[in-house]
Amino acid sequence: MALKQPENSLLGSESDSQRTLYPYVTGTSVVALKYKDGILMAADMGGSYGSTLRYKSVERMKPIGKHSLLGASGEISDFQEILCYLNELTLYDNMWDDGNSLGPKEVHNYLTRVMYNRRNKFNPLWNSLVLGGVKNGNTYLGTVSMIGVNFEHNHVATGFGNHLAQPILRQEWHENLSFEDGVKLLEKCMHVLLYRDRSAVNKLQIAKITEEGVTIHQPYSLKTYWDFSAFENPAQGAIGSW
């Protein structure tokens, strides 16, 4: 016979334990690369509620401390929670007032531990993160997934960007990219994602971080062309009952 717990039991009921079973409002790809003066990062401003493009002014890139820039794909509310964690981390670091501050490598390592910790609790933060920065002349660019998988590279992408932008970056990126060439390369990647990713929106931001600090530019749209003949009747010549 099962024991009945008192109403005010410290153990609580099963309904007290909540988990995010799937994300609600999500952002799509973030693409970032190193250039000769620092880091460039690009992301659109769409926020999708399921398959509906519900919000079109969601900022998914934020400065972290003095030396880092963070971009996020995935659940927007989880990204906001991560920003709260990082605000506490930078505040605690500033309280030491020792003339030192957290660099991008330290922030990236912290994020890998947070994501992996939440994964082990079976309550992950549903985000893929890109962390770039510059400190003491050294550029750093890394990424971490919702289960804590992480690496550092010269160019990274999340979401559909892993499949559609990375081939372009592998072919065209080089370490002496100027700011103008880096922006053109990011725009080329975002152009492909806009055409191919259902959740992408034609309103993007590009951010840079150098030794001087973070600059997040105003959003703008890319010039597009939709009059391809294949778009007029995409099912023409298809084989099957559909």
Residues with catalytic roles: 20
- CA-nearest of 37, 23, 221, 7 to 126 is 23
Contacts of 214 (CB under 8 A, 6+ apart): 63, 69, 207, 208
Rounded Cα gap, residues 220 and 207, in angstroms: 12
State how far the Cα of 76 lies from the Cα of 59, in Å rounded to an integer: 10
Please return the burial class of 224, using the count of CB atoms within 10 Å of its CB with bins 0-12, 13-18 and 19+: exposed
CB 25 within 8 A of CB 36: no
For 29-75, give the DSSP string.
-EEEEEETTEEEEEEE--EEETTEEEES----EEEETTTEEEEEEEE
Torsion sign over Cα 13, 18, 21, 22: positive
Residue pointed to by tokens 């390369």: 185
Q: Assign residue 239 a region: left if phi > 0, alpha if psi is -120 to 50, beta otherwise?
A: beta
| Secondary-structure percent of the chain, ordered helix, strand, coil, rounded to 5 | 30, 30, 40
HSE-CB for 107 with a 13 A CA cutoff: 33
